[in-house]
Amino acid sequence: MKLSTLPAALAAAALLCAPHSFAVPAPASKDSAPSIPRPAFPAELPQTKNIDAKLAAGLHFSLPAPHLDILPMPGPAAAEVTILGEPTATEEQMLACLLARNPKPKLTGSPKELVHAYYEEAEREGIRPDVALAQAYKETGFFAYGGDVDWRQNNFCGLGATGNGAKGLSFPDMRMGARAHIQHLLAYASTTPPHSPIVDPRYDLLRTKRPDIFGKLTHWVQLNGVWAVPGTTYGQGILAIRDRAALPDGSDASLHAANARIMQAADVDGYIYRGLVYLHRGNASAALADFNAAQKRSTRRPEPYLGIALTHTATGNRKEARHAYEAYLRLAPNDAGALYNYGLTLFTENAPAQAVPILRDAIQHNAQNTDAYSALAVALIHTKDYAGAWKTLADAAAIAPANPDILINQILLQACLKETDAKKGKKK
């Protein structure tokens, strides 16, 4: 079919969907004309019109992709994370996190040397080394600095930098700077003296002048308003940096960390973690093996079932994905992301009527997931509920007007409008 034979709106949509072979234009200058405004669509299907079902059935409406990043690693809430304890992220992961944010950190030695020093000094005193490093990243802007403290001071946490240009303490090398930081954390978290000679001048100051907090701030969030003022989310921000570093992505650092976890304790969380790493690396068979191993260790934990479902989704095995989503949702019925994927799976299995209530449920649990609206609208079109589809697309456009899938589907559905028989009768 030629574009010239299509309705104008449908032709426009076809052009939007067509692959482009021409060069990408240069960015518009400040003096160029403003961008074309988004077309306006009525919030409801016009009463004087209905949808040409035959035309709608022949069109390819845009369907969003499943969400594969919806399985978070289980772990304690921020308020539960203690200053003393074992690391979650490895040295390799913390180093990769730093270099990803700042490939050229301002340091008096190598980044690898500093990360290793933190792990050695922190583990000697029982402090979580990954979180201590995350605090250093936060305090220095991933060693970009820019505040009162100069990078040559080897002061990684602002010790003595009390504002108004006060540069704070200086240390002879990175090792001593890391040690001072760890010792200061120890002063908050424990009354046990450091194992290493004290290099933090403020350790004894805190011990003698602040008995109200010396050794009594056992959790990272308790540093809020103490280390940083007002700092109401200071500790949470530090933990967020650590958590990002420890994410099971597809990197070699994550795979090495995953293998180490399995070697240390072949538990459910370890297999889930490595399964996610393999999933990110595109190794579906290895991911599936790990998620199945996790499921066998705990049949009541929902996460392994979701991992299995996501792996089958990624490989296009819709039948097995559907069974896994159903098993997961029996244990976690309110997971909006899983409900969306499950509804999408049902639709692609040619069950749009079954997909509709599932996708509505997904929206009820996450009203900002515009992909769920798009999928619901397409499912409604396939069940010939055109008024519902029109309203759903309008609701989605109100949330995300720049979403191209929503716009394309609105254009396509509008192109299917035709006059009602009653309207046609009056014109005769």
CA–CA separation, 89 vs 137, rounded Å? 14
Q: What is the amino acid identity at position 296?
A: K
Contacts of 230 (CB under 8 A, 6+ apart): none
Instruction: Quote the distance between the C-alpha of residue 19 and its chain's center.
Output: 30
Closest CA relative to residue 415, chosen from 17, 51, 27, 40? 51
Q: Are 332 and 338 in contact (CB under 8 A)?
A: yes
pLDDT of residue 422: 52
CA distance 236 to 228: 12
Q: What are phi and psi of 49, to 5 degrees?
A: -135, 160
Is the four-CA dihedral 354, 357, 361, 363 of positive or negative sign? Answer: positive
Could you give the CA distance from residue 205 to residue 207 in angstroms, rounded to a whole number?
5
78: DSSP letter? G
Show pLDDT as tens, one digit a residue, over the chain (428 residues). 443 344 555 545 544 444 333 333 344 444 544 566 888 899 999 888 889 999 999 999 999 999 999 998 888 899 999 999 999 999 999 999 999 999 999 999 999 999 999 999 999 999 999 999 999 999 999 999 988 899 999 999 999 987 787 889 999 999 999 999 999 999 999 999 999 999 999 999 999 999 999 999 999 999 999 998 788 999 999 999 999 999 999 999 999 999 999 999 889 999 999 999 999 999 999 999 999 999 999 989 999 999 999 999 999 999 999 999 999 999 999 999 999 999 999 999 999 999 999 999 999 999 999 999 999 999 999 999 999 999 999 999 999 999 999 999 999 999 999 887 655 555 44
- 86, 98 contact by CB (below 8 A): no
- Give φ, ψ of 43 to 5 degrees: -70, -25
From CA 141, how far away is CA 206, in angstroms rounded? 26
For position 428, what pLDDT does the model report?
45
As a whole number of angstroms, the distance between CA 400 and CA 346 comes to: 25
Structure tokens at 186: 């120890």
Query: What is the C-alpha to C-alpha distance for residues 248 and 96, in angstroms, rounded to an integer?
Result: 13
pLDDT, residue 230, reads 80
Q: What is the pLDDT of residue 4?
A: 39
User: Quick check: 386 and 51 in contact, CB under 8 A?
Assistant: yes
- Residue 258 and residue 274: Cα distance in Å, rounded? 5
Of 304, 308, 287, give the one whose Cα is nearest residue 295. Answer: 304
Give the tokens for residue 348.
């692609």
Q: How far is CA 119 from CA 172, 201, 242, in A?
A: 19, 21, 14
From 133, 137, 142, select the one nearest 90 (Cα to Cα): 133
Q: Are 179 and 196 contacting, i.e. CB atoms less than 8 angstroms apart?
A: yes
Q: How many residues does the chain have?
A: 428
CB 240 within 8 A of CB 44: no
Residue carrying structure tokens 């939007």: 16
CA distance 346 to 32: 46
Given this model, what pLDDT does residue 34 score?
A: 53
To 10 degrees, the CA torsion angle through 85, 90, 91, 95?
A: -120
Letter for the amino acid at 383?
Answer: T
Domains and CATH numbers, the chain: 45-70+335-420 (1.25.40.10), 79-245 (no CATH)
Which residues sit opposite 417 in a β-bridge?
51
Crossing angle of helices 268-280 and 284-297, rounded to 10°: 160
Tokens for 57, please give them: 């059935």
Dihedral angle over CA of 198, 202, 207, 208, nearest 10: 120
State residue 59's pLDDT score. Answer: 94
* Nearest in space to 18 (alpha carbons), one of 416, 415, 348, 408: 408
